[in-house]
Amino acid sequence: MDTYLSIDLDYWMNTDDEEAIIFFKELIENIKENDLPLRIVSEHQDLLPFINDSHASVLRNMDFHADLQRFDRQSIANDYDFIGHVDWAYEGKYIWHHPCDLSHKFEVSTCAYIPENIPITKHISAFNKDTAGIDFGWKEVSAVKGGVSNLENVVAVGVALSPSYSKRSTVDCVMELIGCYASK
């Protein structure tokens, strides 16, 4: 099954930059060996046209956030719901690779807290156990703790810098690695 690999740098928001560096060194080698297209964008939703054009049947998303919410399909894609705007979603499989229990817990809760500990109601998530039976636009969805370890069946890779959510040091390290790859 052809797979599109989408990576949001906020995946590493709570880790040491060294983890991202190790991952991207291996990823870049795999991209070169397999001659895969690589797209770099500022905001995650900017990958949507490339994901749609890939005609893949599986979307693997390495991200702190699942980016799949219940929404009006006629709305404009945002960073928190763009996964639902994938053209081939009804026929495809979405796999959210989250880095830690904290990100999964945040996604499945129905309430979030802003810094002042004031609860705010969140959108309904596909990964909340109370949402069984709600159509999120995908044939199949699943969540996996941990990153993507092999690129088998990957047809293209997209990386979102997400400067509003990612650590600046992580963005800088990854951009330097990608710059070295692009200059060779």
Half-sphere exposure of 173 (CA within 13 A, CB side): 17
Distance CA 14, CA 76 (A): 29
53-109 confidence digits (pLDDT tens) = 999 999 999 999 888 866 556 667 766 678 888 989 889 999 999 998 888 777 765
pLDDT of residue 163: 86
CB 69 within 8 A of CB 123: yes
Angle at alpha carbon of residue 86, lines to 85 and 92, rounded to 5°? 130
This prediction's pTM: 0.85
21-51 confidence digits (pLDDT tens) = 999 999 999 999 999 999 999 999 999 999 9
